[in-house]
Amino acid sequence: MSEEKNLQEMIENAVKESIKKENRKNRFLSTLIPLIGYALILCSLWFIYDRIRPKTPEIAPVEDHDVTLDNNGILGFTAADFEEAVLGKSQMQQLLIVDEQEVSVTSIITQAGLFNWDITSKTVNETIYGTGTYTVDLSRVTRDSIIFDQDLFTVIIHVPYPELHAVTFNPEKTQIGDTKKGWLAFGEIKLTPEEQKEFETAAITKLTSRLNEQECYDTAVRFARLAAYELYQPVVSAVSPAYKVTIVVDDKE
The full 3-state SS of the chain, as one line of letters, equals CHHHHHHHHHHHHHHHHHHHHHHHHHHHHHHHHHHHHHHHHHHHHHHHHHHHCCCCCCCCCCCCCCEECCCCCCCCCCEECHHHHHHHHHHHHCEEEEEEEEEEEEEEEEECCHHHCHHHCEEEEEEEEEEEEEEEEHHHCCHHHEEEECCCCEEEEEECCCEEEEEEEEEEEEEEEEEEECCCCCCCCCCCHHHHHHHHHHHHHHHHHHHCCHHHHHHHHHHHHHHHHHHHHHHHHHHCCCCEEEEEECCCC
Segment 63-70 shows an average pLDDT of 50
Say what the pLDDT of residue 64 is: 53
Q: Is the pLDDT of residue 183 over 80?
A: no
Q: What is the pLDDT of residues 145-163, one digit of tens each?
A: 998 887 888 899 999 999 9
The domain locations on the chain are: 1-53, 67-249
pLDDT tens sequence across 74-123: 343 333 568 889 999 999 989 999 999 999 988 766 555 544 544 445 56
What is the value of pTM for the model shown?
0.63
